[in-house]
Amino acid sequence: MLRGMSLARKCLLVFGGAIMLIVLAALWAPWLRMTDLVDAGQAELSRQMVDTWERLGEQAGPQPEPVVTTAAPIEERAGIGARRLSVEQARALADEDAFVGRALDQFREDPDLTEVQEARFSGTTRQYRYAKCHRRRAQGDSVITEIIVLERRSIEAWRLLATNTAFLAISGLGVMLMALLVFYVITQRLIIGPVGALREAAERVREGNLAVRSGVRTGDEFEQLSDTLNSMLTDMQAQQDRLRAINTAMDLKLHELAEANMSLHQAAKVKGEFLANVSHELRTPLNSINGFAELLLEAAKNEAANPGTQTNVAKRTKYLENILTAGRGLLALINSLLEMARVEARKVELRLERVNLRDACEGLLGLIAPLADHKGVQLKLEVPEDMPLITTDGKRLQQIVFNFLSNAVKFVEPAEKTGRTPTVTLRAERLVATDAGADELVRISVIDNGPGIPSEDHQRVFEKFYQRDATHTREQGGTGLGLAISKELATMLGGEIQVESEVGRGAMFSVILPMVCPEPNQPAPAPAA
């Protein structure tokens, strides 16, 4: 019931009710005492009336002995009506008149008791019933001889009680109002006022005004609370000023970073254009060098086949082979740089078509077979017969998978070193969607039983120009761009590349693609597994 009420109303309701109860309790005892005094005065009046009634009866002469009957008549004497009851009559009347029975019992219990009075309100009058007892001594005991019962109504007693009750009520109401007024003034000044000031200050703080301060000066806990609130607001304002200064500095730094980022973007763009232009410029003379080197090598071989070949022909052949190898390596490096520049510049155009994965995988194994045979590597193909067609860029997909195959054949260790047949497996499989609404995917994996890759290098192998084992890489050759290009191409095809490997247990490089490649600039579907 008190929820939602203000503090002032709660105080008035609770403490006002308490004051009312206290005032009523304080007035109840005086009211009872006043009633007793009025009734005592009326008892004295009843005693005098009974005495008068008896005296008039004695003046009238001896009365006959009362007859034992339950009907004792009321005798009027000088306007006073009373009944004289014997003990037998009183006992017989007790069943009909409870007052007579109670009076008789009290007289019997207390030998010194001579009168009993009862009073009650009856409308606008006060009704009194008075009983007087006459006793006689018999063998040392007090014996009741008769009881005189007087019944009367008193309007004056009722008026006196009503007047006194009204006076007490008016006095109590005045005291209650005065107490409530004093209580309201005290609580308003000492409790409600300070609480209201603190609440107003808190509301202004909630609105964002940290410059407000509470001015409660009561010299008690409210003033301590006010000082604590002011100290907290001072600290918050200082902290807010520091945050504003930090935000201003951060805005400046952000502006500087944005400008630096723009400069880096322009530099990257210039770098890409530079690499593309330089690659085109270098490829033309390298093609010429390679062509002439091939002609010289062919001429040297022809001269070596003739009987009159000079002794320096073999050395010249070796040199020409070195020139040709270096030229081809340089051409491969330039091609890789050019491809990387195109991929980063998003200038690679995708040509989506229906691709038969089994045919594509067989063709890739045919391309890598000469190199594998030269190193003694066993090739395996694991593609189900019912493998569905997918829609993607077949050329880019073959570029990714061939890069996996060439790396696997290149880095797998020979049987002479490990005692096991080096094996490279090309596998294609469907991935069933586990979530409702997810697209179905395919996974093409290249698995080898080579030396493996440590877990800390699983992500670094996709960095540009990264070579985990420089010595081994130099022996096998390579630019360090193949996996980086493959990762970018896989992203363009709407897929991703995963690697699983442990040292000494080989490696598995996989490309996961959707069944239908998304159109350029469209988001790729979420992987199904």
Let me know: does 487 contact 503? Beta carbons within 8 Å.
no
Let me know: does 100 contact 151? Beta carbons within 8 Å.
no
Measured between alpha carbons, how far apart are the two ends of the chain, in Å? 58
Sign of CA dihedral 484, 487, 493, 494: negative
Residue 219 zone, left/alpha/beta (φ > 0; ψ -120 to 50; rest) = left
Only one residue has tokens 């003379």, namely 285
In CATH, which of 3.50.50.60, 1.20.1250.20, 3.30.565.10, 2.60.40.1120 is domain 350-514?
Answer: 3.30.565.10
- Neighbouring CB atoms inside 10 A of 33's CB total 10
Q: Which residues in the chain land under pLDDT 70?
A: 1-8, 60-71, 140, 270-282, 284-285, 307-316, 319, 326, 329, 333, 336, 340, 344-347, 433-438, 465-480, 520-529
Q: Break the chain into its structural domains and give their ranges.
A: 7-177, 211-347, 350-514
Q: What is the C-alpha separation between 427 and 443, in angstroms, rounded?
A: 8
Let me know: does 102 contact 82? Beta carbons within 8 Å.
no
pLDDT digits (tens, 9 = 90+) for 259-314: 888 888 877 776 666 666 556 666 766 777 777 778 777 777 777 777 555 546 66
- Neighbouring CB atoms inside 10 A of 104's CB total 21
User: Quick one: tokens of 450?
Assistant: 């080579």
pLDDT of residue 279: 65
pLDDT of residue 178: 87
Q: What is the C-alpha separation between 93 and 268, in angstroms, rounded?
A: 127
Distance of CA 526 to the CA centre of its chain: 30
Task: Give rounded-to-5 percent helix, strand, coil for the chain.
Answer: 60, 15, 25
pLDDT of residue 436: 61
Taking each helix axis as running N to C, give the angle between helix 313-344 and helix 482-492, from 0 to 180 degrees, rounded to the nearest 10.
30
pLDDT of residue 379: 92
Sign of CA dihedral 449, 454, 455, 458: negative
Question: H-helix or E-strand containing 273?
Answer: helix 221-305
pLDDT digits (tens, 9 = 90+) for 38-71: 888 888 988 999 889 988 888 766 655 555 455 5
pLDDT of residue 492: 87
